[in-house]
Structure 1
Amino acid sequence: MKKHAQEELLVLSENIDVVAGKMSVGNLSTFGMKCAEELLATLIKIKSFLEVEESDDAQVDIIIEKLPLLYIQIRKIN
């Protein structure tokens, strides 16, 4: 896996922890909680996809391009 993908995966993992932590203590509105649950499910899918060693570099690049958008969504929730 590319070094950049590994770095993005680390950030992604940290973001998942942040959102999950806020969800567990109920620090989100009902709407925010619903968004967070959907986002968390998406992030977990992406994280597991990136962890697959046989993944195509082009596919990894496409996912990495989407990570900033997901990060922005997390910041909106927080």
Structure 2
Amino acid sequence: MEHAFLISVCEKVGSALAILYALLIASNTGNEILGFSLLLMSSGFFALWAVIDRRLAFLSLQMFYAISAVIGLVRWA
């Protein structure tokens, strides 16, 4: 039961953060730092989910998103 709750939290929070990231970047309103920070947090929640659920391909994808977020943060800082 504990794993299911944690997975559910990671799924919902990660998805909400990813949606906010996409909206901020697409809006082109100068919120790139916040947007890429949200992407980094989202990938962290999804990575935790991947580790708990032992999904290595999904974990690899989240590492790519985290690296993309760091590149975005460095570029826009």
Superposition TM-score, scaled by structure 2 size: 0.48
Between Structure 1 and Structure 2, the one with more helix by share is 2
Superposition TM-score, scaled by structure 1 size: 0.48
Instruction: Tell me which of the two structures has the higher relative contact order, counting C-alpha pairs closer than 8 angstroms and 6 or more residues apart.
Output: 1
